[in-house]
Amino acid sequence: MEQKNQTVTKLAQTAILAALCYVSFTYLQIKIPMPGGDATSLHIGNAFCVLGALLLGGWYGGLAGAIGMGIADIMDPIYITGAPKTFFLKLCIGLIVGLVAHRIAKINESDDKAYVFKWSTIAAVAGLGFNVIADPLVGYFYKMYILGQPQQMAEVLAKWSTATTFVNAVVSTVLVSVLYNAVRPILLRSGLMLKQEKKTGVLKH
C-alpha cells in the first residue's frame, strides 16, 4: 500500500512539473523568428525537466519535460511539427540527469549538502550539455529528412539553435542548482520526498 501511495505521489508531482515546463516554455519564452516561418527561443522549460529528474528520478523527470514541452509545441502553430523531436530530447535529458544523480552519485543517500550540490549541478550539466549538442543536430536531420526543408535552411536553423540552446542550458543549470538544493530539505522534512538509506536500501521519511 505504501509503495502504491509513493507512486501516486510521484505521478502527481510529475504532473505539476509537466505543467511548470509547459507554462515556463509557453509564457516565459523569448521567441526569435527564423527564415521560412520557423523560430527558436530562449526559455527555462528545461530547468523543470532537470528538476523533476533530480527530485523524482530520470523517468519521471524526463516524462515531465517530454509531456509538458511536447504539449507546448503542439499548442504552438510554429513549433507543432517539432513536437516528436521535443518529446524524445526532453525524455533523454531526464534519463541522463537521473543516471548521473541517482545511479552514479546516489544523491538520495547523502546528507552532505556540498556533495549533493556538486552532483546535482554535474547532473544538470550532463543532461543540458547533451541537449546543447543533440537539439541542433537532431533538429538538422529532422527538419531536412522528415520535414523536407532545404539543407541550407536547416543548417542556418541548426546554428541559431546551438546558440540559443547553449544560453538556455547555462541559465537553466544555475536556476535548477539553486532550486533543487533549496527545495530538497523542505520536501524531505514534509515527507513528500523519501531518503534512501545507504546501507539498508530502505526508504524513510
Angle at 180 between CA 178 and CA 182, to 5 degrees: 65
**Which pTM was predicted?**
0.90
What pLDDT band is residue 38 in, cutting at 50, 70 and 90?
confident
- Is the pLDDT confidence value at 4 over 80? no
Each residue of 123-157: pLDDT tens digit? 999 999 999 999 999 999 999 999 898 998 889 99
Q: What does residue 31 show for φ and ψ, rounded to 5 degrees?
A: -80, 135
Each residue of 83-115: pLDDT tens digit? 999 999 999 999 999 999 999 999 999 999 999
Each residue of 22-37: pLDDT tens digit? 999 999 999 999 877 8
Q: What does residue 72 show for φ and ψ, rounded to 5 degrees?
A: -60, -40
pLDDT at 203: 46
CA-to-CA distance for 114 and 111, rounded, in angstroms?
9
Decide: residue 172, CB within 10 A, 0-12 exposed, 13-18 middle, 19+ buried. buried
Task: Kindly state the cell numbers that stand for 107.
Answer: 544523491
